[in-house]
Chain A
Amino acid sequence: MTPSRAVLVGVVALVMGLATLHVASAGTIKGAVVLKGATPELRKLAVTIDQYVCGKEKNAEDLLMSPQGGIRNAVVWLDKPPTGTTGGAPPATTTMDQKDCSFAPRVVIVPAGGRVDFLNSDRLLHNLHSTPSANPPFNRTQPRGRTITISFSQPEIIRVTCDLHSWMRGWVVVAGRPRRTSWWATRTRPPSRWR
């Protein structure tokens, strides 16, 4: 399952839940994004370059799941929240590091007009490369210790890769305007429970 499909499943699951929800008064929505059916096997990718930093293999990270079927890094939002809905708005600036040849966190959420500070904690060169459709593309080589800040003006789910390490995938979810959309970055279980 590709990352985009994983996110999609999460979104659909929550939207379907909301379709049967009758909001009579103020309340709190809590939920877990769960994958129905059998848990797909976690794939391992062999690492053939820069093993001294990246290790010898990497998790494919298409879909990270808990033993109970919960999906990690799922993003849920309400397109048309009821009037008076509060909370859940992402900060305007967030950070995505590149550590051990993986993006950390793998998914970041910024509001439209927000920005992401990309870091490189590895002792080698990474190359941030993305070709979004609504936002400008970027392709920047990044040495260790240097921060590259990218602003995202349009709501969009953007994939970020590294030209030098093909297994690296990061996602920047650019949310809509805070006035119109409520956000939850869900974690169905405490982080320590997740694989």
Chain B
Amino acid sequence: MRRTTAAERMPPPVLALLASPLGALVRAVARVRASVHVKLLAAFLLITVLFIAMTVVSLLAVSETARQTHLLDEAHERVGWSRQIEQALAMQMHFTSMALLSEGADSVSLILRENNRFNDTLARLETAAPAEERALIQAIRGAQEDAMATVADIANAVRDRRLADAMTALRTRQEPTYQKIETLVGSLVAAEESRMASPRTSIADAHHRSLRLTAGFAVASVALALVAGFVISWSFILPVREAHGFLSEVAQGRFGGAVVVPNRDEFGALAEHMNWMSRELHRLDDEQRVAAERLRSLNDRLAQASRAKSEFLANMSHELRTPLNAILGFTEIMLDGLYGEVPPALREPLVDIQTNGRHLLRLINDVLDLSKIEAGRLELGVAEYSVQEIVDVVHTSLKSLAIEKGLTFTAQVAADIPRAWGDGRRLTQCLLNLAGNALKFTHRGRVDLDVRLEGEWLTYRVSDTGIGIPEGEIEKIFAEFRQVDTTITREYGGTGLGLSITKRLVEMHAS
């Protein structure tokens, strides 16, 4: 039977993935000469490195955004200062007008204050301005120098009540100067606002770039994690599945197969061990098969020999019984005096002949029975029988032996026992064997035979107060030609076939 591969037992989606380049990657990873631990660590580090890269890139993007934001803030600040300059200019004009209108010196200090505020703001602007705006600021500074001189002249003229001079200075010098400054400041503001456009665009770009990068990295990280997880896990699962299939084959007794995995890691080593085990099992299996074949052949020959033996014994028993029956018959006729009065001197030998002849007949019958059983020729004559009858037969047959040995021998059958189903003749034989054995091995006391109905089964029980059987010898007593030890044979006699035949007959009833 062809063994299914691990791939053939996989779900279709996994099969599709393994058939794709991803499958090639799985096999490539499996072929890498590195331990499972190192592969897992490498996958983890790969993803970690990607996350670190993502973090670094995000930080760079944030840093760039912060830098652009800072530039934008600075530009905002410079625009604010430019607005303050414009405001200071407007305030100077306003206070100058106030001073001229009120003809008082109170507003003069305000003019001067605003002018200095202009200077202060311009100085800040100059410090913070980029190099390309310095020229513009220098131009403003130059105009402011003129404006300061004009303001001073106007202030002094107002204080000196030379309002006409102040008015002239205002008209001919301050207004043109302020217009010039205003134009320059306007250019500055325009330049700053133009400059702000760049950071704004950069910030928007950086923001979008950051979003794209973050999303890209997130997707890449998840994809990498999935791919790494799939590749690594399947580079482990494939050999495990192969091993599973292989072990199933082994469990079913099919040896000699091999686990083929691309792995060069622990799984690869495991596969090599399993293949070695498979080869060993296959070799042992072959050897065992050869041995079994030899045994089978031997058994066949033994069975054949046994059958021949049984047939021989059966035939021999039959052949032996015929003349023995004649001997017993003639002996009995002689003892019965049909051939005339038996001389007293011959009676005892004749009785011995009869006794030994019967013993020999019983022995031959036993051998014949056992031979039939082993040859499978003995068939039970199963029919209804009376339990009481067979027990009475046994009791009657053995009662004289019990009396002779001074033993109490009882046979009890419960009154509620119905007629039973079995071979009454063979059961009688069994009980004669068992009870006869008990009487044989009991020197004093009693032997009891009783029958009980337990459910659908009858239990015949023979108990005695005899010498008993050692624990370890119980099984032996049912073996043919076996007794507990040879001294028993010498002391008690017997063939050693009775219990064996009894066991076989009882087992035949149960089958």
Q: Which of B105, B109, B113, B145 contacts A143 (CB 8 A)?
A: B145
Known contacts: A52-B124, A125-B112, A163-B109. The answer to whether A142 contacts B119 by CB under 8 A is no
B151 within 8 A of partner (CB): yes
Binds A, one of B3-11, B152-160, B201-209, B240-248: B152-160
Measured in the bound complex, the distance between the Cα atoms of B109 and A62 in whole Å is: 25
Scoring B108, B116, B156 by chain A CB atoms within 10 A of each residue's CB, the highest score goes to: B116
B148 within 8 A of partner (CB): yes
CB pair B112 A163 closer than 8 Å: yes
Known contacts: A139-B159, A141-B108, A163-B109. The answer to whether A146 contacts B152 by CB under 8 A is yes
B120 within 8 A of partner (CB): yes
B68 within 8 A of partner (CB): no
Q: Which residue of A lies closest to B148 (CB)?
A: A143
The contact size tier of chain A is 10 to 19
B149 within 8 A of partner (CB): yes
Taking CB atoms, residues of chain A closer than 8 Å to B109 are 127, 163-164
For chain B, what secondary structure do more than half of its interface residues adopt (helix, strand, loop), or is it mixed?
A: helix
A5 within 8 A of partner (CB): no
CB pair A125 B124 closer than 8 Å: no
B275 within 8 A of partner (CB): no
Taking CB atoms, residues of chain A closer than 8 Å to B152 are 125, 140-143, 146
Taking CB atoms, residues of chain A closer than 8 Å to B105 are 139
B500 within 8 A of partner (CB): no
B115 within 8 A of partner (CB): yes
Taking CB atoms, residues of chain A closer than 8 Å to B159 are 139-141
A-B pairs with beta carbons under 8 A, tally: 61
B219 within 8 A of partner (CB): no
CB pair B123 A125 closer than 8 Å: no
Q: Which of A51, A123, A140, A141 contacts B151 (CB 8 A)?
A: A141
Taking CB atoms, residues of chain A closer than 8 Å to B148 are 124-125, 143-144
Measured in the bound complex, the distance between the Cα atoms of B122 and A53 in whole Å is: 12
CB pair B156 A140 closer than 8 Å: yes
Taking CB atoms, residues of chain A closer than 8 Å to B112 are 125, 127, 141, 163-164
A49 within 8 A of partner (CB): yes
A50 within 8 A of partner (CB): yes
- Interface residues as binary, B141-185 with A (CB distance below 8 Å gives 1, 0 otherwise): 000010011011001100100000000000000000000000000
CB pair B119 A124 closer than 8 Å: yes
Measured in the bound complex, the distance between the Cα atoms of B166 and A172 in whole Å is: 30
Q: Which of A52, A141, A163, A164 contacts B156 (CB 8 A)?
A: A141
A76 to chain B, nearest CB (A): 36
CB pair B145 A144 closer than 8 Å: yes
Known contacts: A52-B124, A163-B109. The answer to whether A143 contacts B149 by CB under 8 A is yes
Taking CB atoms, residues of chain A closer than 8 Å to B120 are 49-52, 124
Within 8 A of B (CB), among A138-192: 139-146, 163-164
Q: Which of B108, B116, B124, B149 contacts A49 (CB 8 A)?
A: B116
Known contacts: A127-B112, A164-B116. The answer to whether A53 contacts B149 by CB under 8 A is no
Measured in the bound complex, the distance between the Cα atoms of B121 and A51 in whole Å is: 10
Taking CB atoms, residues of chain A closer than 8 Å to B151 are 125, 141, 143
CB pair B116 A124 closer than 8 Å: yes
- Interface residues as binary, B112-147 with A (CB distance below 8 Å gives 1, 0 otherwise): 110111011001100100000000000000000100
Taking CB atoms, residues of chain A closer than 8 Å to B116 are 49-50, 124-125, 164
- Interface residues as binary, B400-436 with A (CB distance below 8 Å gives 1, 0 otherwise): 0000000000000000000000000000000000000
CB pair B123 A146 closer than 8 Å: no
A137 to chain B, nearest CB (A): 11
CB pair B145 A141 closer than 8 Å: no
- Interface residues as binary, A116-144 with B (CB distance below 8 Å gives 1, 0 otherwise): 00000001110100000000000111111
Taking CB atoms, residues of chain B closer than 8 Å to A144 are 145, 148
CB pair A123 B149 closer than 8 Å: no
CB pair A123 B119 closer than 8 Å: yes
Measured in the bound complex, the distance between the Cα atoms of B92 and A125 in whole Å is: 13
Q: Which residue of B lies closest to A51 (CB)?
A: B120
Binding site for A on B (CB under 8 A): 105, 108-109, 112-113, 115-117, 119-120, 123-124, 127, 145, 148-149, 151-152, 155-156, 159
The 5 A-B residue pairs with the shortest CB-CB distance, nearest first, are: A52-B123, A143-B148, A141-B155, A141-B152, A143-B152
Given contacts A140-B159, A163-B109, 11 further A-B contacts (CB under 8 A): A49-B116, A49-B117, A124-B119, A125-B116, A127-B112, A127-B155, A140-B152, A141-B112, A141-B156, A142-B152, A163-B112
22 contacts between A and B (CB under 8 A): A49-B113, A49-B120, A50-B116, A51-B120, A52-B123, A52-B124, A53-B123, A124-B115, A124-B116, A124-B119, A125-B152, A127-B155, A140-B156, A141-B112, A141-B152, A141-B155, A141-B159, A142-B152, A143-B151, A144-B145, A144-B148, A164-B113
